Structure 1
Amino acid sequence: MAFARRARRIAIAAGSLTALLAVAACGGSSETTPGGGASADAAYDQKGPITYVQGKDTSGNVPKLIAQWNSEHPDEKVTLQELPDNADQQRAQMLQNAQIKSDKMTVLSVDVVWTAEFAANQIVDELPADKFPTDDFLPATVNTAKYFNKLYAYPASSDGGLLYYRKDLLEKYDLQAPATWDELKSACDKIKQGENDSKLNCFAGQYNKYEGLTVNFAENVNSAGGVIVGEDGKANVNTPEAKAGLDRMVNWFKDGTIPKGAITWQEEQGRQAFQDGNLIFHRNWPYVYSLASKDDGSSKIVGKFDVAPLPGESGAGVSSLGGHNMAISKYAKNKGTATDFIKWWTSQDIQKSNVIATSAAPTRTALYTDADVTKKFAYMPILLKSIETAQPRPVAVKYGDVTLAIQDSAYGALQGQTTSDAALSELQTKLEGLIK
């Protein structure tokens, strides 16, 4: 059902183009689109050096993989271009590169929610179907790479939200991993009272005004039974269910369940707080597991934490579907090498080595039951369910405007600048104008 809802939302959203890229889109030539004739085939035969562009690598493993490729392909070397770790800033730089039709970016690591915008505005190529088979990938990840049922990117990494928790503290107070938000709050209160440690906080996710806030807002709304966009593709966020989700975030900031300072946190600030032993519970992505397990002194909770599904109202909650896909810039050179590099990077062997090194969520279905992977990361079944039951964020050609509207409304409520009712009413109006 999630896939069908997404397809409907794409169809409704596709009627308009992002204003920032209107000129670039109109100036693009269909002759370079794969499947469009001899010129397309020729473009995908060209080989040589390329540039791979992604957000900041927090794992330290990306340069190692690129070095491996370069040693095996000395005439087709890949240069890594790291962008900021902020998703909104990554997107902005990729859009700017497309505006000037620069060939400096070849392979783009794109957030799963950018596909419609990048495809509609001809920032990335439609990928040749015969060169990019998708049978062995998680269906949810393939769906994020398509626009009007055509493939514009290749699934490189997935993401499902997880609840990290201090296993040692829960065991000390004879508690189980919480299945609901109320259970989490009750466990926090008991542990904090027993520990009497002013530095120990209850829970946090990502609340700074950026894409992470859109994710956290969506998860709270969805886990309360609400939606941002309904099955009919129309905005439907001004509801009692959505209000319950937003109210929880607002109230937890007010009563200290979420520390006040978390209003500035993105993924890395929250991860650091959890690793420093200052959080009992933490919502974040799978990559945190590997970093929090390092025994080099950077983590104070090695062996003291575990993961569980995100909580909900009466049972397991709902994650926003995260992850990144690899796409080829419309204006790139050496698209033949770009094709080979993407297929190599997303191959089962390379994905397996990467997940073992970094705990990143793979897109190859078989890796979730691979003996070597599950031996190191026993939570793989939890992660797989998180991804399979995840809800996509709103799909829209004007996604940049959509996510900014969500961030504005949610952030205003969290800051106490407006009520939840007013925030959701305003957001409903904005989304009705953006998603048509």
Structure 2
Amino acid sequence: MADLFDQEGTPESAPRPLADRLRPERLADVIGQEQVLGPEGALTVMLEAGALGSVIFWGPPGVGKTTIARLLAKETDLHFHQISAIFSGVADLKKVFEAAKQRRRAGQGTLLFVDEIHRFNKAQQDSFLPHMEDGTILLVGATTENPSFELNRAVLSRAQVLVLERLSVEELEHLARRAEAELGRELPLDARARGALLEMADGDGRALLNLVEQVMAWRLEGPLSTEALTQRLMRRAAQYDKSGDGHYNLISALHKSVRGSDPDAALYWFCRMLEGGEDPRFLARRLTRMAVEDIGLADPQAQSVCLESWQTYERLGSPEGELALAQSVIYLALAPKSNAGYAAYKAARRSAKATGSEPPPKHILNAPTAMMKEQGFGAGYAYDHDQEDAFSGQDYFPETMGRTEYYAPVERGFERDLKKRVEYFARLRRERNG
């Protein structure tokens, strides 16, 4: 199969996008990714040792995955072949592997770059394994999704996962200056507008170069202001996949901000998810879970606040209903925190699973028949309301199990009062049971 991205045969005079014209010729020219390309970076260490192995690049779009793969092939004298998992099937892979075998017999190795490798199914991913093991190919995969979830364990065991990060504003500025040098003139923007353009790229170098190319094509009499720029350019949509890593990363950030009692950070992540197109009903469900899991009985009202805000959203719809959810975010962040109820529930579930079919003690079983009374059902049961303080202190656990404590309320919020009650009943129970 011909390389889908092969530009051989393209006339020299054919127009080339700015991103292609600025493609680095050496690894040292790559902007950013110091964690893998710096002096102590993983790729640098591999290359210096002459032991480059298969790798998986995990990172957002536009951070250099394809470029680094090309340069790795160049620096190791390997034939570079690129395919995309979106356009390739089993038949295509067979052709790729056969061509790599022929090169190997001729003394030429192959670096196979697979873009969007997570799109291949398990069988397709497994087809790489024998060719990776016998040295027919050196696999370099690229994915925007978490490899732990999307790639076969067998592939991951034979490749090192390297995380590539979105470009910082400083790195984007460096790239913008490189583009200006290539084009022979400066961007027609004032300082604030220039900063706004870098922000629009949202850490994506390729997106920045596309924006620069658009701006440079305009016929302008003077530098544009931020307001004029934003009228002409749409802000790039933030990277957010409602079924991918962005979804899970941002809900984790929201949950931990609430748990950490930071209403400002919690509101920020809440709004980031809304801006990314997240379903407000999903957020309402997760907020209610936070109320139960992280606040619990320290503030019993938190759960009601969440349910009422959810109900309000259902009545008002978007965009007005989101305000009710936002207010519940603030309430949860500022509420006293306790996971005592959650921890008690999990501990009780473990005990229930471990003890199997242990029956309740006979004294708390009803005895509706004479035979059951003869068997001792209900014998010795003390009716709590007959006691002066409505507390008998009897043991209600299975006889073979003994009393176990699960719930340990904290000294925060309403659980302070619950802790006093727990301690009060524990004291009475000790007194009445000797």
TM-score by length of 1: 0.22
Give the alignment's TM-score, normalised by structure 2.
0.22
More strand by share: 1
Report the structure number with the largest CA radius of gyration. 2
> Going by fraction, where is helix more abundant, 1 or 2?
2
